[in-house]
Structure formats: C-alpha cells, structure tokens
Amino acid sequence: MDQSVIQATELAGSVDALNFSMWSLFMQATWIVKIVLIVLLLASVWSWAIIFEKLWRLHHLQRAATGFEDEFWSGGSLDKLYEKVSQRPENPMTAIFVAAMREWRRSSGRGLQRSELSHASLQQRTERIMHVTLGREMERLERNMTFLASVGSTAPFVGLFGTVYGIMNSFQSIALTKQTSLAVVAPGIAEALFATALGLVAAIPAVIAYNKISNDLGRYASRLEAFAHEFTAIFSRQLEEAE
C-alpha cells in the first residue's frame, strides 16, 4: 500500500479519536485556559442574572408608576394618598411623593407665620428633597450596571488571552513531537477557539443588555423627573391659594 495512503489513514484515525465536545475541551485544556474558561463562564452566568433581574424590575416599576400616577391624578386627597403609602413606599415614584409630602407637613407643622416661612424657600426645599430622593433611587436601580459594562468590554480580551495561550501550546506540541499533523495541533487550537467563543458568548449579551437597560433607565428617570416637576407645580399653586 502506498505510504501516503497509510499516513492519511493513521491521521484520520487519530483525529477521529479526539473528542471535541465542550466538556472534553475543558478537561483537556491547560490549567491557565481552564481558569480563563471558568472566569468567563461565571461572568456570563452573573451577567444573565443581572439582566433578568433588571428587566423584571423595570417592567414592574413601570407598571407600578402607571398605577400610582392614575391614583395621584384621580382628584383624591393627597393627604389620604400620603397616609396610604407613607409607611412603605414600594417604588421610586412613591418614595419621591412621600419625601415631598413629609417635608411639606414638617414645614407646615412648625407653627410659623407666613411672613417667616417663605413660599420660595419651602418650594426650594421640596424640590431639593425630591431631587435627592430621585438620585438615591436611581443609584439603587443602576447597581451592578458597571459589571455588565465591564464584562462587555473585557470578556473578549480575556477570551483572547486564552486563545493566545492555547495556540502557544499547539506550537509547543509541534516543537516537542516534531510533527505538524492535525492530531498534534488540534487540541491546542480547539481550546484556543473555545476560549474565544466563550469570551464572545459572555460579552455580546452583556453589551446588548447594557445598552437596552441603560436606555430604559434613562426613560424611567425622565418619567420620575417629570412627576417631580408636576408635583412642584401643584405645591406652588397650593401656596398661592393659601395666601
């Protein structure tokens, strides 16, 4: 039999003997590449947990804001609404309303004369408190967004590090065995490409989700700011009517 045919048969058999499943690639990888793969896998899992939590919470908050606005603009007493939600504000919009009403009641309960209690000063304090409350609530909602941004920007490079290290192993295998057959270089190349793929799997959803969630958070913050401005206008009208 021709020698080239024998070598081709041996090469085909050696390649078929290799297992290229994800688990086999992980087990056959060097310990540095294994660390890279584990880090990328954990980052991907945590990213998905953050994504689902943020999307669910934003959907819930938008519905809660709609319900509260309907009740707020229904024409009922603001004092009764305050008594209803003051003990446990369940969303940022309710928290802003409670903070403003609490300041209003605290200032009104001091027993000061109207000449001593400036309308402009009360309105400024109310606006400041609503602004501080809004910022605190948005800071809570934006928690862990930095992690998504970090995964989206660094995961491909972490995967690239694993890729480079896997290719280096392939060259070392060639140098040690003095052979360039596919059976020699395939394991290193496979683990290298596996690291690249896992880096992209971790990064792409994180980038897409970060952009979407940031956009949704921006719209929700604008909604809260609009409510705060409208609430300030209501206070201003009530102060003018009380003169």
Bigger pLDDT: 32 vs 110: 32
- As a three-state string, the secondary structure of the chain is CCHHHHHHHHHHHHHHHCCCCHHHHHHHCCHHHHHHHHHHHHHHHHHHHHHHHHHHHHHHHHHHHHHHHHHHCCCCCHHHHHHHHCCCCCCHHHHHHHHHHHHHHHHHCCCCCCCCCCHHHHHHHHHHHHHHHHHHHHHHHCCCHHHHHHHHHHHHHHHHHHHHHHHHHHHHHHHHHCCCCHHHHHHHHHHHHHHHHHHHHHHHHHHHHHHHHHHHHHHHHHHHHHHHHHHHHHHHHHHHHHC
Please compute the mean of the pLDDT values over residues 184-191 and round it to a whole number: 67
The Cα–Cα gap between 48 and 54 comes to: 10
Per-residue pLDDT band at 110 (split at 50, 70, 90): low
pLDDT of residue 26: 64
From 44-48, 105-109, 126-130, 160-164, the region with the lowest mean pLDDT: 105-109
Residue 128 has pLDDT above 60, yes or no: yes
Residue 31 has pLDDT above 50, yes or no: yes
Give CA separation, 117 vs 97, 98, 100, 109, 229, in Å.
Answer: 21, 21, 16, 11, 22
Whole-model pTM: value is 0.77
